[in-house]
Amino acid sequence: MNIKKKILVIEDEATLQKALDDVLSQEGFEVLSATDGIVGLEVAKKEKPDLILLDIILPKMDGFEVLSKLKANDKDTPVVILTNLSDLNDVQKALDLGATTYLVKADYHLDEVIRKIKEILCM
């Protein structure tokens, strides 16, 4: 595989952003980051990532709104929700809006997150 797959991480928590960036680059991905919903949407439009990791609680525009806008622009790019909201309603809402899967941060180790991402990208 010569071309690096691009992953956009939309996450406002600096520690988590850094950890994801670190591990994903070591795994050979090109990592783009955004710390709020609006910037996230712009980067997604410009860079056309292969996969998007999206938090729900974000400044300026929340993850649900970002998700529906992303899906309106481009239905096929997989969006993985990575959040700490764990109510069934939130999960259902995100899946209804077209999220590929929904992961609760605190319940996943980093390597499990990576495994999920690779699964979705058929790697």
Partner 1 sequence: MIRDIVRSFRECKENGLSLWQCPSFLFIVMGLINICSMMGVYVVVSKYDVPEIVVLSVCSVSAIIFSIGLSIIHGFEQVSKANKIKSEFVSIASHQLKAPLSGMRWASDILLSDRNKCLNEKQNGYLRDIQENTTRMIRLVNDLLDVSRIENGKMDIRENIIDVGKEAEGVVRELNSFALAHNAELILNVEDDLGLVSTESSRIRMVMQNFIDNAIKYTKKEKGEVRISLKNEDDFVMFIVEDNGFGIPKKEQKRVFDKFFRGDNVAKRQTIGTGLGLFIAKALIESSGGEIGFDSKQGKGSKFWFKLPISKK
Q: Which residues of this chain interact with partner 1, rule CB under 8 A? A: 13, 15-16, 19-20, 22-23, 26, 84-89, 105-107, 109-111
* Closer of 2 and 89 to partner 1 (Cβ): 89
* Closer of 20 and 43 to partner 1 (Cβ): 20
* Closer of 73 and 84 to partner 1 (Cβ): 84
> Closest distance between partner 1 and the C-beta of residue 23, in Å?
6
Q: Using alpha carbons only, what angle is made at residue 76 by residues 71 and 79, rounded to the nearest 5 degrees?
A: 65
> Closest distance between partner 1 and the C-beta of residue 72, in Å?
28
> Closest distance between partner 1 and the C-beta of residue 69, in Å?
24
Structure tokens at 55: 């938090």
* Closer of 38 and 114 to partner 1 (Cβ): 114
